[in-house]
Structure 1
Amino acid sequence: MPQHQPFDFQAYSCDIQTRPCFICQMVAGKPAYAHEIIYEDERAIVFLNKYPPLYGYVLIAPRDHREQVTGDFTLDEYLALQQIIYRVAEAVRRVVSPERVYVLSLGSQQGNKHVHWHVAPLPPGVPFEQQQLAALSLKHGFLQLSAEETSALASQLRAALAV
């Protein structure tokens, strides 16, 4: 299992506040913004988190740039996206076998404006005080997966989504 690596939050904060929207750039196929894509269709893109505090951490975003979790969607658009989020969370659950799967939307109008959802699997046996928001924190670093580990995880998630 990969080890946690230090995370430079100051550099990351500066980066996300000054660069173009990374999700829009990834959707456009810009190599500098490449992520391991798990699933995509005309509405959404699903990809592995580059800085995962937990193994199997996935992000889901609408392909179109939207900034409000509900206000930028019709009810039908929102529910269609939630169906994808459900399928992804179930795939993560089947592949990683976590104690719990967290699903939440984070972001800020000051950086990472493109609305996206996090699917974060909590491994079994994590003490209660290290669960919930503490488990999602990058204060203790992120898991540095090798290219092979990333590829294998992505393949497993793709297969689970295909079921």
Structure 2
Amino acid sequence: MPLRILPLLSVLAFAGAWPIATAPAAEPAPAPCIFCEIAAGRTNQPAREVYRDDLVVAFMDRAPRNPGHVLVVPIRHAENALDTPPATTARLAVTAQKIARAIRRTDLRAEGFNLQSNSGRAAGQTVFHFHVHVIPRFAGETPAGAEKVAAAPADLEAAAAKIRAALVSP
């Protein structure tokens, strides 16, 4: 007579003597990435975009360290610098330089710049989509100073308009 194991396992499981493997609980869907939403134009918050091409988008930081603070972001999601394709990383660097030069041509009067990226929680990354900050700097301020403060939408739009105009002028 053949051994019938399946019914025995069912009885043991029903009695609590044998655990039945269950499917793992579904993980909650991750929150949408705000930079992916901005890059795709799916946010109801105006991003005050200053530049876009096939790989990157640049827009005003909503809580700038200084007037003219811009974020340069890859359109395709990558969590940090180590996850970003080399061609995209190169484009981010070139775009950050282009944005800094444009800011210098405006009346924002930046005397220097920080090009900054934090990769990983230990480095201070808070939005886990790779990005580069272009932060205008001014004489007399401590480079690490100037805490982020939410800017008025009109101020962001005015700075964005100046930077966009400077990007198209030589």
What TM-score does the superposition give when structure 2 sets the normalisation length? 0.70
Distance in 1 between residues matched to 2:83 and 2:43, nearest whole Å: 31
Choose 1 or 2 for highest CA Rg: 2
Which segments of 5 or more consecutive residues in structure 2 lack a partner in the other structure? 1-29
Give 1:56's match in structure 2, choosing from 65, 68, 71. Answer: 68
Contact 1:99-1:124 within 8 A present in 2 as well: yes
Give 2:165's match in structure 1, choosing from 141, 156, 159. Answer: 159
Are 1:67 and 2:74 counterparts?
no
Specify which structure has the higher proportion of helix.
1
**Partner residue of 2:22?**
none
Name the count of aligned residue pairs: 136
Distance in 2 between residues matched to 1:150 and 1:71, nearest whole Å: 30
Give the aligned CA root-mean-square deviation in angstroms.
2.1
Specify which structure has the higher proportion of strand.
1
Give 2:93's match in structure 1, choosing from 68, 82, 86. Answer: 82
Q: Aligned AA for 1:132?
A: P
Q: Whose RCO is larger (CA < 8 A, sep 6+)?
A: 1
**Partner residue of 2:56?**
44
Which segments of 5 or more consecutive residues in structure 1 lack a partner in the other structure? 1-17
Residue correspondence of structure 1 range 1-163 to structure 2 within 5 A: 19-74=31-86, 76-95=87-106, 96-106=108-118, 108=120, 111-126=126-141, 131-135=142-146, 137-138=147-148, 142=149, 144-147=151-154, 149-163=155-169
What TM-score does the superposition give when structure 1 sets the normalisation length? 0.73
Q: Percent identity?
A: 27
1:100 positional shift: 1.3
